[in-house]
Amino acid sequence: MALATRHGKERVLRRPFRAGLGVELVLAHGFDTDSLGSFSGERPRPADALTTCRLKAEAGMEACGLPLGLASEGSYGPHPTIPLLPLGSEWLTFIDRPRRLVISERLLSPRVCCSERILAAGEDPAPWLERVGFPDQGLIVLPHPPAGAGGSPPPAGAISKGIHKLEDLERARRRAASLAPNGQVLLQTDLRAHHNPSRMAAIRRLAFRLVRRLQTPCPACQAPGWGLVETPAGLPCAWCGAPTALVRADIHGCASCDHRISHPRPDGLLQADPGHCDHCNP
């Protein structure tokens, strides 16, 4: 099976797919995954994470000339409901061209190290470095604000990535400060998987989840990949019964046929707190 990655993800993907499905991964060396976007911003991602993941898997299959493909894509940012907490969204997409199957599995992870810090000239970064787990956790250093005009990416040479040594950090910091109008520098945790141990662990957990899904046949047609396909909103308010934005059910389905089964929420919640209701708590 073709695997499109430049960031060492085969280290955590190879074992689950070999042990669970008897599949060997072949790296798609001929495809540059950064062409579909980079975490550091030099190349914007033209599509959402799920679409990009599928495009990456398809490109890997073409590069290797194989009918099976696998790719990973992540998206990170602030948690939608908990201030100051970052939330990671990881996708794995499996493609089986002979069976015309495209199966994607998602993992939400608040445990991935995703942080940044603006440093003034002469400021000691040691407390932040300890908090993010440096030097095991890699860093990105760039001028602040970015040297690119109008919100464009910084020019070539302004960004230093994959930093794991203090001497490299100081060198990158001096270079970035020289390009910043006020000498400020932006430190970011490197979100590329081979520089982010917590993200690599999340991808490993997701790999086992996808393998278990591929081992699960559809109860109607026996095609592989039976699993969660939709989480519709509309959990009724406990006071007025109106639908809320909370998930009301888990819909499991097949990637090959139209068979669907609705399951109650895993937590057993049947009604929403009125605080989530637009009618009771406008």
CATH of the domain at 4: 3.90.950
Closest CA to 121 of 163, 164, 173, 169: 173
* 70 shares a domain with 203: yes
* 84 shares a domain with 206: yes
* 205 shares a domain with 66: yes
Report whether pLDDT(110) > 90. Answer: no
Domain with 271, as residue range(s), is 219-282
* Span 169-182, average pLDDT: 93
- Identify which has the larger pLDDT, 235 or 150: 235
Q: Tell me, what CATH number does 178's domain have?
A: 3.30.1490
Report whether pLDDT(150) > 60. Answer: no
Query: Cβ(281)–Cβ(274) under 8 Å?
Result: yes
The pLDDT of residue 40 is 63
* 3 shares a domain with 89: yes
Number of compact structural domains in the chain = 3
The pLDDT of residue 149 is 47
* Span 4-25, average pLDDT: 96
Report whether pLDDT(200) > 90. Answer: yes
The pLDDT of residue 39 is 65
Please indicate, yes or no, whether the overall pTM of this predicted structure exceeds 0.75: yes
* 204 shares a domain with 65: yes
* Span 88-93, average pLDDT: 94
Q: pLDDT for 40-89, tens place per residue?
A: 666 777 789 999 999 999 999 999 999 999 999 999 877 766 767 778 89
- Identify which has the larger pLDDT, 30 or 83: 30
Query: Cβ(185)–Cβ(141) under 8 Å?
Result: yes
Mean model confidence pLDDT for the chain: 92
* 86 shares a domain with 27: yes
Task: Give the burial class of 206: count Cβ atoms within 10 A of its Cβ; 0-12 exposed, 13-18 middle, 19 or more buried.
Answer: buried
Q: pLDDT for 130-146, tens place per residue?
A: 999 999 999 999 999 86
The pLDDT of residue 111 is 82
The pLDDT of residue 156 is 63
| Cα–Cα distance list, 36 to 23, 55, 61, 99, 282 (Å) | 26, 8, 15, 26, 41
Query: Cβ(82)–Cβ(72) under 8 Å?
Result: no
pLDDT band for position 154 (50/70/90)? low
pLDDT band for position 282 (50/70/90)? confident
* 168 shares a domain with 48: no
* 143 shares a domain with 255: no
The pLDDT of residue 204 is 97
* 127 shares a domain with 104: no
Report whether pLDDT(103) > 90. Answer: yes
* 224 shares a domain with 211: no
* 98 shares a domain with 31: yes
Helices (H) and strands (E) in the chain, counts: 5, 12
Token readout for 206 is 């997701």
* 251 shares a domain with 124: no
Question: What φ, ψ does residue 116 adopt, rounded to 5°?
Answer: -150, 160
Say how far apart CA 276 and CA 282 lie, in whole Å.
9
Token readout for 148 is 């690119």
